[in-house]
Chains A and B, each alone.
Chain A
Amino acid sequence: MDYFAQQLINGLVLGSIYGLIAIGYTMVYGIVGMINFAHGDIFMIGGFIALISFLILVSFGLTFVPVILLIVLLVSMAITALYGWTVERIAYRPLRHSFRLAPMLSAIGMSFVLMNYSQIAQGARVKPVPPIITGGYTLYEADGFVVRLSNVQIVVVVTTIVLLAIFTWLVAKTRLGRDMRACEQDQTMAALLGVDVDRTISMTFVIGAALAAVAGMMYLLYYGLVDFFMGFVAGIKAFTAAVLGGIGSLPGAMLGGLLIGLIETMWSAYFSVEYKDVAAFSILIIVLIFLPTGLLGRPEVEKV
């Protein structure tokens, strides 16, 4: 039971990271109807930028951890958001009225570009960082087994919750959120009613990339390393999360992320670590067979 509780905590933390990435997939799919294949690599870029800005801040002599974290968070969100905007502007916008598979293929190309760009720019080796947030609480102790909740885990979960709250408010209450929901339903009609569709789509990518940057930073804090290849597998898992929760649904993405995180952690804990990725990918296939609309998704009506 203690072991299970510990795995539950670990799974929820991992799931928060997946959920943050999954929101980017689900938002873009909702509005443009394409899978942003490069989103996993945007997450990776976010991790790198967090790492570099962290190093610079430390070498400037800053030692107060909350300030460092806040600056790193803002810097990586801003720069990664610009990456998201640029990717959309270069690779997706010219293809909006092309045939269906074109944006997907362009996105695959973009994913290669980002992956190899960071490999060339920052080297192929894994970049480790010393633990930035240390310490934690012991929740329960019995028979020599300890259930621990570390401060990093608290930071990850709290940040995720705060960002989700801001994000939900943004979509539900602001002008931008209303524009986004309008574009999701009918782009032509939204344009006729004075919604700047291009700008709204750009903003969707920007917000998605900013959330992915947060996920990248949390990944860095939690695992203490980044490398240029981490976006690929994390991207597929986050996409699985988005599909599991019902693609196009924002709470669904978060729910799916938590479930995938839990499943992966439990699988590693009770079955085999080697096959944890196989488990995650199999879930994608199984969900799509038996529950194509996901847990909270709406069925897609096909019009002829």
Chain B
Amino acid sequence: MTTPAPAATAAVAAKRGLGAAFIFKKALISALVALVLFSLMIGVRTEAGPEGQLIYWTRFGDLGAMVATVFFGSIAIELLRQWWGPIETVRVIPPRVTSSLALARRAIAPILLIFTFLVPVIFYDQRYILDLGILVLTYVMLGWGLNVVVGLAGLLDLGYVAFYAVGAYSYALLATNFDLSFWVCLPLAGILAAFWGVLLGFPVLRLRGDYLAIVTLAFGEIIRLVIINWQSLTGGPNGISGIPRPSLFGIPLSNTDDGLAALLGIEYSPTHRIVFLFYLILALALLTNWVTIRLRRLPIGRAWEALREDEVACRALGINTTTTKLTAFATGAMFGGFAGAFFATRQGFISPESFTFQESALVLAIVVLGGMGSQLGVALAALAMIGGFELFRGLDQYRMLVFGVAMVLLMIWRPRGLIGHRAPTVFLEHSQTISSDLVKEGR
């Protein structure tokens, strides 16, 4: 190797110097913008005083800290960006690493499944971990349910929590008013939620993309507002309490003579019910997964994917987009209803507070993070998301802030999701002679 010519070295040095000036200038501008943005919102704090009159006090220390954070953060980001190179930079990964990565990818699903089955055995004494596991699995199930609508059919649904609420309230009302058992109510809750899914599906058939998102959001809010205001039926903001616990096909999991523990001749422990709930939601989630995987191989699943890729082409090929969309909505809603019924029986108490827009956004974020369409990705994303929420439990009010920031960064950095991808199940081996990109008009 020859040493670089002096001129080239000077040019590199000059470029570096210029780079430093550029970074400094950019950081300074960011800090100035931050100063103006935060000046009143952080620099001044208002609160209602003792006589109800608003008072304010200044917090210039916090303001200075925030501006300094933005300044140094901007420098750090710019340095990272220069170190990484342009976004499109492809890092060459050695083949050995690639092959072991592929192996790991294939092995991860079975390992995860076996581990999940063993969780109640390993952590039998740790109630906290079991409860957390149930929560994660609930969101895995919700994520897989929404994945049918968003990931497979490509219909952005911001009101998924409505079906969750319908399922929960269906079970709660049927069980408390008619004494129906959980196993009778579970399918009923699913059917009712699916019915609401079709009901929502009909009006939005003609809408696409953003409009669809807003209408589903409005629908979710309508359901929530009706639940809050229809006090005679739903108990309004107070919710419904005393929802019966599930039984193992008629055998109650209680400390009585006809309870499961007495029948098996073992000592009763409240953990039995937790373990039972854990396996119940695991079974429900796996059912969701199995149905989705099977459906993907049926014509209807293929039609969903085709609809996601190109609706116009779909119609041109004679696919009935109406039934395709409605079945996607109904299927997704049904699983949401199942999950809702499970939620109601686990909590024993439900109120409209559990079914806010935040919940919809959380499930949607799980699906997006998981890569929209990848089953394993959604499961891992649910684990990461709910686990992350638990980590931030101490910083309760910062939780949603971090969640929002993560969502924005994720869209910028990896819009197709961290894990997995959403390639169609079937595709042509060879690319077409004329790509559709080339014949698109009006772009």
> CB distance B210 to A35 under 8 Å?
yes
Bound Cα distance from A288 to B44, whole angstroms: 43
- Nearest CB in chain B to that of A53: its residue: B40
Q: Write out the residue numbers on chain A whose beta carbons fall within 8 Å of the beta carbon of B401.
A: 112-113, 116-117, 120
> CB distance B210 to A102 under 8 Å?
no
Bound Cα distance from A103 to B408, whole angstroms: 9
> CB distance B403 to A284 under 8 Å?
no
> CB distance A52 to B210 under 8 Å?
no
> CB distance B213 to A109 under 8 Å?
no
- Nearest CB in chain A to that of B220: its residue: A281
Contact for A232 among B228, B357, B404, CB less than 8 A: B357
Residues of B167-205 whose CB lies within 8 A of A: 203-204
Q: Write out the residue numbers on chain B whose beta carbons fall within 8 Å of the beta carbon of A303.
A: 440-442
Q: Write out the residue numbers on chain A whose beta carbons fall within 8 Å of the beta carbon of B412.
A: 91, 94-95, 106
Known: A35-B210, A109-B408, A117-B401. A125 touches B47 (CB 8 A): yes
A4 at the interface (CB under 8 A from B): no
A135 at the interface (CB under 8 A from B): no
A193 at the interface (CB under 8 A from B): no
Bound Cα distance from A66 to B209, whole angstroms: 45
> CB distance A275 to B405 under 8 Å?
no
Interface size on B, residues (CB 8 A): 63
- Nearest CB in chain A to that of B209: its residue: A100
A174 at the interface (CB under 8 A from B): no
Q: Write out the residue numbers on chain A whose beta carbons fall within 8 Å of the beta carbon of B358.
A: 112
Q: Write out the residue numbers on chain B whose beta carbons fall within 8 Å of the beta carbon of A175.
A: none
A111 at the interface (CB under 8 A from B): yes
Summarize A's interface: helix, strand, loop or mixed.
Answer: helix
> CB distance A281 to B221 under 8 Å?
yes
B13 at the interface (CB under 8 A from A): no
> CB distance A34 to B405 under 8 Å?
no
A191 at the interface (CB under 8 A from B): no
> CB distance A288 to B408 under 8 Å?
no
B438 at the interface (CB under 8 A from A): no
A161 at the interface (CB under 8 A from B): no
A170 at the interface (CB under 8 A from B): no
> CB distance A288 to B211 under 8 Å?
yes
B341 at the interface (CB under 8 A from A): no
> CB distance A129 to B411 under 8 Å?
no
> CB distance B209 to A101 under 8 Å?
yes
Residues of A7-57 whose CB lies within 8 A of B: 34-35, 45, 48-49, 51-53, 55-56
- Nearest CB in chain A to that of B439: its residue: A304
Interface centre among A121, A236, A274 (most CB of B within 10 A): A121
Summarize B's interface: helix, strand, loop or mixed.
Answer: helix
> CB distance B404 to A111 under 8 Å?
yes
Known: A98-B411, A99-B415, A303-B442. A285 touches B229 (CB 8 A): no
Q: Write out the residue numbers on chain B whose beta carbons fall within 8 Å of the beta carbon of A86.
A: 33, 37
Residues of B28-62 whose CB lies within 8 A of A: 33, 36-37, 39-42, 44-48, 52-54, 56
> CB distance B46 to A122 under 8 Å?
yes
Interface centre among B47, B158, B206, B214 (most CB of A within 10 A): B214
B400 at the interface (CB under 8 A from A): yes
Q: Write out the residue numbers on chain B whose beta carbons fall within 8 Å of the beta carbon of A284.
A: 214-215, 218
> CB distance A117 to B312 under 8 Å?
no
B361 at the interface (CB under 8 A from A): yes
Q: Write out the residue numbers on chain B whose beta carbons fall within 8 Å of the beta carbon of A121.
A: 41-42, 45
B123 at the interface (CB under 8 A from A): no
| Chain A nearest Cβ from B425, distance in angstroms | 19
24 example contacts (A-B, Cβ-Cβ < 8 A) are as follows A48-B41, A52-B46, A79-B37, A95-B412, A99-B415, A102-B415, A103-B411, A104-B213, A105-B364, A105-B368, A106-B412, A108-B407, A109-B406, A112-B403, A122-B41, A122-B45, A123-B45, A128-B48, A274-B229, A285-B203, A285-B204, A288-B215, A303-B440, A304-B312
CB-CB nearest 6 A-B residue pairs: A109-B407, A112-B404, A113-B404, A106-B411, A116-B401, A281-B218
